[in-house]
Amino acid sequence: MMEERANLMHMMKLSIKVLLQSALSLGRSLDAEHAPLQQFFVVMEHCLKHGLKVKKSFIGQNKSFFGPLELVEKLCPEASDIATSVRNLPELKTAVGRGRAWLYLALMQKKLADYLKVLIDNKHLLSEFYEPEALMMEEEGMVIVGLLVGLNVLDANLCLKGEDLDSQVGVIDFSLYLKDVQDLEGGKEHERITDVLDQKNYVEELNRHLSCTVGDLQTKIDSLEKTNSKLQEELSAATDRICSLQEEQQQLREQNELIRERSEKSVEITKQDTKVELETYKQTRQGLDEMYSDVWKQLKEEKKVRLELEKELELQIGMKTEMEIAMKLLEKDTHEKQDTLVALRQQLEEVKAINLQMFHKVQDAESSLQQKNETITSLEEKINQVMSSMKQMEQSSSLEKELKSEKEQRQALQRELQHEKDTSSLLRAELQQVEGLKKELRELQDEKSELQKVCDEQEQALQEMGLHLSQSKLKMEDIKEVNKALKGHTWLKDDEATQCKQCEKEFSISRRKHHCRNCGHIFCNTCSSNELALPSYPKPVRVCDSCHTLLLQRCSSTGS
């Protein structure tokens, strides 16, 4: 790797030197067909490809230098125009072509050195794409960036063609550099020639590796064609299955038509029955209209109460929306909303208990009505018997005294009958009220189901907000950890620690890992429950117990 870096450094120096000399002779304006400029881009491509990691995909192994160049858009917002223009080019089909187009545009903007310097300054991001000993990860990368600063003198007018950019890797033309070496450096000709030959061998090996990857891609394409043929066979079988299902669907439709005809006949019969029942209901309702008037007054009052409750509910809903907005800013409000949801659930359970009590009361009232009706029928039978006995008493004069007593009993029974009739009328009124209450219960149950749906939706929204907040917290903690790592703190990774540093208890699902923001070591929640404001953090952050005591001692010593 060291020899490859040295060879690429020599080639980059030679290519930039030849390019600058040719540009000065042409008046510092270059076209895309200029040979030294083409060779410069070929050498630049080899430098960016040096030490690239291989990424595996479902097609095969991919190795492109456009991946690290895309990071420039995130690190430097000025490069967003280049990235968007490269993505909008319809002729480009490969990542290599996009990378070459990016290099062309950066050179035309005279900011190629600035963009690559931004990349090299953020080597922790480049480690995703490059090996540790790659050219961009070592000091040679900074040297190349310094050499590229000299190209800002040039004015380049380049044409972006998709066919040229998507072609195979270009071969370095060593004749240009050999001529330059013979003209300028006579004593070191042989050494430069050996370096160039080594570089040529290196490029040939790269071409061999590329040919091997092309062969692997062809074999994978053949396997994909085989799988496509199998999928086509499965599609044909699926179409046959769909045809059979369509036939079954037609049969089911015919059966449904027969069922509809039968159901229509049954509906006509039920309509006739309902007409008869309606007539009887109208006849019975005439006597009960007076009783319903009082019930209607009560219903109106209860409707007013219900409207007030709905207004209160609307106010509560408005408060809930405000609480949801506050959730985005503060995490503590989530706990308060969860408490309100628990209170709503308790209220729903209380409403359920009230519904059950009302249902039991209705059943008791119906049973008492049935008993009183039975007593009324028994009393009517007794009255009939007394009437028959009275007729017999009128015939006989000897039984006048008994008639008087019987009359008194009859009057008493008549009084009892009137009392029972009054009680039955009261019970009927209560029954009507119970029916109205049943209707209200149904309406309340419907409202309760709607409230439950709203509560469920709010719970889901709260859970989603909690997930977003937890994800944002984790991201912020990761960013802070990365910033501390950049500043030089020894920040341990999660995989490096299996137990708490202080109590030496192993981590699990219940015992989670927490970093101390001062020393960077990993502790459990009990050993790192303290919070202090650090110089790098204006707000109080998590600190382990030992760091907490040390920092307090320092503060006390400095204060005294």
pLDDT of the chain, 560 residues: tens digit per residue: 888 888 888 888 888 888 888 887 776 667 777 788 888 888 888 888 888 887 654 444 456 778 888 888 888 888 888 888 888 877 777 888 888 888 888 888 888 888 888 888 888 888 888 888 888 888 888 888 888 888 888 877 777 765 567 665 566 666 665 554 444 444 455 556 666 666 666 676 767 777 777 777 777 787 788 888 888 888 888 888 888 888 888 888 888 788 878 777 877 887 787 777 777 767 766 666 666 666 677 778 878 888 887 887 887 787 777 766 766 676 676 677 777 777 788 887 887 888 788 788 878 878 878 888 788 888 888 888 878 777 776 666 666 777 788 888 888 888 888 888 888 888 888 888 888 888 888 888 888 888 888 888 888 878 888 787 777 776 666 556 545 544 445 678 888 888 898 998 888 878 888 889 888 889 998 899 888 888 777 788 899 998 989 888 887 776 65
Could you tell me if 419 and 460 lie in one domain?
A: yes
- Write out the two tokens for 483: 């910033």
What Cα–Cα distance (Å) separates residue 522 from each residue in 3, 411, 526? 41, 97, 12
One domain, residues 439 and 364: yes
Is residue 30 located within the same domain as residue 178?
A: yes
Is residue 37 located within the same domain as residue 126?
yes
Q: Is 504 left (phi over 0), alpha (psi -120 to 50) or beta?
A: left
Same domain membership, residue 393 and residue 458: yes
Residue ending a domain, among 417, 442, 472, is 472
Q: Do 414 and 547 lie in a common domain?
A: no
Which of 152, 184, 216 is the last residue before a domain boundary? 184
CATH label of the domain that carries residue 366: 1.10.287
189 part of a folded domain: no
Would you say residue 417 lies in a domain?
yes
Residue 5, token pair as written in the block? 């870096």
- Contact between 512 and 521 under an 8 Å Cβ cutoff? The reply is no
Q: Is residue 467 a part of any domain in this protein?
A: yes
24 lies in some domain = yes
Residues 464 and 505 in one domain: no
Structural domain including 370 reads 332-472
| Predicted TM-score (pTM) above 0.95 | no
Residues 163 and 15 in one domain: yes
Task: Determine, yes or no, domain membership for 40.
Answer: yes
Tally of CB atoms within 10 A around 94:
14
Q: Is residue 493 part of a domain?
A: yes
| Same domain as 499, residue 448 | no
* One domain, residues 497 and 356: no
pLDDT of residue 295: 65
Here the CATH number for the domain that contains residue 509 is 3.30.40.10
Distance CA 548, CA 527 (A): 10
Q: Give the Cβ contact number of residue 435 at 10 Å.
A: 12
Cα gap 438→452, rounded to integer Å: 20
- Indicate whether 36 and 179 sit together in one domain: yes
Rounded CA separation 266/339 (Å): 53
Please tell me the chain's helix, strand, coil percentages from 3-state DSSP, rounded to the nearest 5. 80, 5, 15
Strand partners, 261: none
Spatial distance between the Cα atoms of 171 and 164, rounded to a whole number of angstroms = 14
Geometric angle at alpha carbon 320, from 317 and 323, rounded to 5°: 160
Q: Under 8 Å CB-to-CB from 170, ≥6 apart: which residues?
A: 38, 41, 42, 45
Final residue before a domain boundary, out of 136, 163, 184:
184
Is 349 part of any domain?
yes
pLDDT at residue 199 in the model? 66
In a domain, 249, yes or no: no
